[in-house]
Structure 1
Amino acid sequence: MQSLEAELESARELAIDDLADAIESIGFECTRCGACCTGHGEEEHTATVFPDEVRRLEDAEAAAVGSDGGEDDAVPEVEDREWRDVARPVPYGLAEGADGLEGETFEWALQTDGCGDCAFYAEGDDGVGACTVHEDRPLICRTYPFSVALAGTSQPMGEAVDEEGVVRAHECEGLGREIAREDAEELARALKERAVRELEEAIGVRDAYEPADPGPGEVVVHDSEGAKGIDGTPLED
């Protein structure tokens, strides 16, 4: 297996035209079905986010969805929004203790509502799903259902169902539909950016990691900026 640094160099050398060719060959058009924004059964929606994306979403104005002009009430207004309203610790690696999840994990995920759906997801009066922070949505949302086959990058929502070169496609009803070249290139640029960012984050987490030894009922999240509590506050603070 190559080092993370070697994988990062490979990600930086990805050609946008090649990625766009692969996306065109597979085909994709978002049908706004909401499947990638919602939980499934007992499984909560889990979309990983970088620390700077969490901060951007803390300040993002949510678009109104529906005739009442209100925004999804799962997320407070900007002036009252905090880190925990936007992100939660990725549950993988955590244990269920007497007081809930506890332990150490290494990523943040978008916060979910009481139904296990993304907190920023809402359905309009027409029953069609919508992202209330679409212009500020994280890279993993911008690039779904695609990922890049490089070690150290994430693979969203299960195994790949199609593959073209280094581009993998994950389960989505929009796959196989015709996509305009301009849209394929835009997706390709975001996909390359995400692959680079994920590997930079992985290297940062590795280099910054120090065992935190959380106590009962405590969760520590290690990201590229260091160890944090569930409210995003650095442990040394």
Structure 2
Amino acid sequence: MQSLDAELEDARQLSVADLADAIESIGFECTRCGACCKADAEDDHTATVFPDEVRTLEESDRDADYDWRDVARPMPYGLSTGDDGLEGETFEWALQTDGCGDCTFYEEDESGTGACTAHDDRPLICRTYPFSIALAGTSQPMGEAVDSVALDAEHDAGDEGGVVRAHECDGLGRDISREDAETLARALKERAVRELEEAIAVRDEYAPADPDPGEIVVHDSEGAKRVDGTPLEESE
């Protein structure tokens, strides 16, 4: 397996045109069903959000008084359940959820059509759903991969990193314009690069925090943080 640094270089070399070709061949049009924004039968909605994306979402609605915890929650993976709820150390942030486990920014109209209330500022993982690129260190969105396309150059070399994956979504298989495919391809490449940059920064910044019982520490690319997004060192 390649190092994260080598994977990052591969991500930076990805061709937007090749990615767009792959997206076009699979096909996609959002049907606004909301499935990618809602909890499934077993788990709450979980979508990775970067620290700078949290801050952008904090300011996405000037009429709302959002703070960090309104936007993001600690990624639940790796946490244990103590007397007062989840505790321990985890890596990265997930978009906050409501009482039903759906994304806090998701709402439906009377007809059941879904909408994102922070659509213009939504994170990269939301902008690129239902697609991902098979690179070590990148996040896979909710939903099983149901289709994939190998990029020509990488496929010839037998490189798994040259695979574009499509995950469960009712919008797959629908016609997509070349312009929309290229827009999605650019965002998909940006996401792959950002996720690897974040993973490398987390690796380089990480130091065990040994939180007290009932506390959570989140390690992201900026260091260790409390659940309210403040640096751990500022609260000590």
Instruction: Give the structure-1-normalised TM-score.
Output: 0.92
Partner of 1:134: 119
Partner of 2:166: 169
Equivalent of 1:217 in 209, 214, 227: 214
3-state secondary structure, aligned to 2:202:
helix
3-state secondary structure, aligned to 1:168:
strand
Superposed CA RMSD in Å reads 0.9
Q: Could you report, residue by residue, the CA deviation over 1:147-196 in whole angstroms, capped at 9, with x for unpaired residues?
A: 00111101111431100012100000100111000000000000000000
Partner of 2:159: none
The offset of 1:126, in angstroms, is 2.8
Instruction: Give the structure-2-normalised TM-score.
Output: 0.92
Aligned mates of 2:143, 2:109 — CA distance in 1: 28
3-state secondary structure, aligned to 2:36:
coil
Taking every aligned residue pair, what percent have the same amino acid on both sides? 78
Partner of 2:47: 47
Partner of 1:69: none
Q: Which runs of 5+ in 2 are unaligned?
A: 151-162
Does 1:190 find its partner at 2:175?
no
Partner of 2:61: 61
Aligned mates of 1:124, 1:168 — CA distance in 2: 31
Aligned mates of 2:203, 2:144 — CA distance in 1: 25
The number of aligned residues is 222
3-state secondary structure, aligned to 1:236:
helix
Q: Which residue identity does 1:17 align to in structure 2?
A: A
Partner of 1:27: 27
1:143-154 pair list within 5 angstroms: 143-154=128-139
The offset of 1:129, in angstroms, is 0.3
3-state secondary structure, aligned to 1:36:
helix
Partner of 1:116: 101
3-state secondary structure, aligned to 1:116:
coil
Aligned mates of 2:144, 2:32 — CA distance in 1: 21
Q: Which runs of 5+ in 1 are unaligned?
A: 63-76
Aligned mates of 2:89, 2:211 — CA distance in 1: 7
Question: Which consecutive aligned stretches of 4+ in structure 1 deviate over 2 angstroms post-superposition?
Answer: none
Aligned mates of 2:11, 2:186 — CA distance in 1: 12
Partner of 2:199: 202
Aligned mates of 2:135, 2:117 — CA distance in 1: 31
Aligned mates of 1:230, 1:201 — CA distance in 2: 18
